[in-house]
Amino acid sequence: MPFVIVRQDITLMETDAVVNAANTDLRMGGGVCGAIFRAAGAERLQRACDALSPIQTGQAAITPGFDLPARYVIHAAGPVYSRWRKEECRALLRSAYIESLRLAESHGCESVAFPLISSGIYGYPRAEALEVARLSIEEFLRDHDMLVYLVIFDRASFVLSKALRCGVESYIDQHYVDARQGGGRKLLAAEEAALRSAAPDFPAMAPMAASSRGLDALVENLDEPFSDTLLKLIDARGKTDVEIYKRANIDRKHFSKIRTGRGYTPKKPTILALAIALELTLSETEDLLARAGYALSHASKFDVIVEYFIVRGQYDIFQLNEVLFSYDQPLLGS
What pLDDT sits at residue 182? 53
Q: What's the whole-number average pLDDT of the chain? A: 84
Residues 197 and 184: their CA atoms lie apart, in Å, by 10
Looking at residue 156, its pLDDT comes to 64
Q: Hey, is 61 helix, strand or coil? A: strand
| DSSP annotation string for 194-211 | T--------GGGPPPPPP
Q: What is the pLDDT of residue 206?
A: 37
Q: Which amino acid is at 23?
A: N
Backbone angles phi, psi at 114, to 5 degrees: -110, 145
What pLDDT, on the 0 to 100 scale, is given for residue 11? 95
The pLDDT, as a whole number, for residue 259 is 82
Q: Is the distance from CB of 333 to CB of 306 less than 8 angstroms?
A: no
Q: Identify the pLDDT of residue 195.
A: 38
Q: How far is CA 63 from CA 58, 101, 107, 177, in A?
A: 17, 14, 11, 50
What pLDDT score was predicted for residue 179? 54
pLDDT of residue 207: 37
Q: What is the pTM of this model?
A: 0.78
Say what the pLDDT of residue 200 is: 33
Would you state the pLDDT for residue 205?
Answer: 30
Of the chain, the end-to-end C-alpha distance in Å amounts to: 8
Distance of alpha carbon 132 from alpha carbon 129, whole angstroms? 5
In the chain, which stretches have pLDDT less than 70? Answer: 1, 154-157, 177-223, 261-262, 334
**What is the pLDDT, as a whole number, of residue 7?**
87
pLDDT digits (tens, 9 = 90+) for 137-171: 999 998 999 999 999 876 666 777 778 888 888 88
Q: What is the pLDDT of residue 120?
A: 87
